[in-house]
A and B are shown apart, each in its own frame.
Chain A
Amino acid sequence: MKQELIMDALEFLDEDIIVETDELRQGKNVVKKPHVFKWNYIALVAAAVCLCILGVSMITPGGNKSAGPAEDYNGGVKTDGCDMEHDGELAESQRMLVRIDEWKTDGFYGTVVDNGGQGSVMAGMCIAVEFNSDMRVDIEGYRDYAYDGTNAKSCGIKAGTVVSVDCTELIPHVNNSTGADSTAVTSKDDLTVKVSVIRER
């Protein structure tokens, strides 16, 4: 019988193979399987809990909603129109480049071209630029301009021109314009920037 042949052949197995199994049989080299399953299960549950917490934090109000460009204000002024921690007066004037989109009586609506490296206002934002009472234009040919509180249009700088403005205050702006001609300011998140100087770009 061929199976008897195999049984006889097994008598000549290498001793190290026999000894290896023999030690196991005698309990000298017990095979202990690590309890991996339990740790894998715990890690899985922990990961699921973390994902749930992260998901909840992302969808709840006041969580990680997309920050509008006007949320990061220097001085803590918020742009949602709901509250202001203070009047948004800046510790020191900040300079940025703004494209004049449309003139109004007390200033102009414009688009921020360059925020000058400060974090309060982001490039691309639509802002309302209001002249301070001591407003002046420091541009060649416009230096004779004097603001009287209602003659911002008389400044004479054409719409579309990019100018440098010195900001003294940031105020949340609510667009009260009902006219169809006011296209520059469209969002309640827009800012009012009070400026004291307009310079060349």
Chain B
Amino acid sequence: MHDEEIVELYWKREESAITETQNKYQRYLSTIAYNILADELDCEESVNDTYLAAWNSMPPHRPTVLSAYLGKITRRISIDIYRRKNCDKRRDSQYTVSLDELAECLPGNGTPENSMEAKVLAGAINAFLKTLGDDARHVFVGRYYYMDSLKDIAGYCNMKESKVKTLLFRTRNSLKTYLEKEGFQV
């Protein structure tokens, strides 16, 4: 079933919308959740919460690309579960590794003096990503938004893992320089 038809089911408040979403995007959403949580039970919880969040958000939302919309929901829910359940310990997940990689991207001594809105930072990151080439942008989004492994990124970007690593390293450095130039300090 096409995305438009599934969204229409949500708008008509037909419960088959959930079934159709599950049939089409179960595996896709589970991959995103597992990249963050690395636990089957937590993944199942995250995906189920995604279906509920989708049901509650459509209407009023009418996404044009349902996969991206649902993926965003799953990502947010999974990160929330990760933070809730891992206050005092680290999980062996791609999310944990990605967090470590991003540690140096924001300039500053690590002790925030001023809080910063994520949306403000998002604006700067959006502008930064648009300055990148296609390969660098895809690799960055695949790694730090979808939390894909280097191997998976190399596969769908049609490049070697070593090149993915190099691209990520250079992009992080460029992001740090960009944020410094834009006046972001933490």
User: Which residues of A approach B to under 8 Å, CB–CB?
Assistant: 1-15, 17-22, 24-27, 30-33
Contacts and interface: CB of A to CB of B under 8 A. Distances in A.
Contacts of B121: 5-6, 9
B52 interface: no
Given A3-B105, A6-B105, A17 B99 contact: no
Contacts of A24: 138, 142, 156-157
A22 B106 contact: no
A6 B106 contact: yes
B100 A3 contact: yes
Nearest to A4: B99
A43 to B, nearest CB: 24
B26 to A, nearest CB: 14
Contacts of A33: 158
B106 A13 contact: no
21 contacts: A1-B99, A2-B105, A3-B103, A3-B105, A5-B106, A5-B116, A5-B186, A6-B105, A7-B102, A9-B122, A11-B72, A11-B118, A12-B126, A17-B141, A20-B138, A21-B137, A24-B138, A25-B146, A25-B152, A31-B156, A32-B158
Contacts of A4: 83, 99
A33 B125 CA distance: 28
Nearest to A21: B141
Contacts of A26: 28, 67
Given A11-B72, A18-B71, A33-B158, A2 B110 contact: yes
A77 B54 CA distance: 97
Given A21-B146, A26-B67, A6 B156 contact: no
A21 B67 CA distance: 12
Q: Which of under 10, 10 to 19, 20 to 34, or 35 or more describes the interface residues of B?
A: 35 or more
A113 to B, nearest CB: 69
B145 A21 contact: yes
Contact of A27 (B75, B76, B100, B156): B156
Interface of B: 28, 65, 67-68, 71-72, 75-76, 79, 83, 95, 98-100, 102-103, 105-106, 108, 110, 112, 116, 118-119, 121-123, 125-126, 129-130, 135, 137-138, 141-142, 144-146, 148, 152, 156-158, 186
Nearest to A33: B158
A24 B100 CA distance: 25
Nearest to A24: B156
Contacts, number: 111
B104 to A, nearest CB: 9
A19 B75 contact: no
A25 to B, nearest CB: 5
A12 B119 contact: yes
Given A2-B103, A2-B186, A25-B156, A10 B67 contact: no
B65 A10 contact: no
A10 B145 contact: yes
Contacts of B145: 10, 13, 18, 21
Contacts of B138: 20-21, 24
A99 to B, nearest CB: 73
B37 to A, nearest CB: 14
A6 B65 contact: no
B157 A18 contact: no
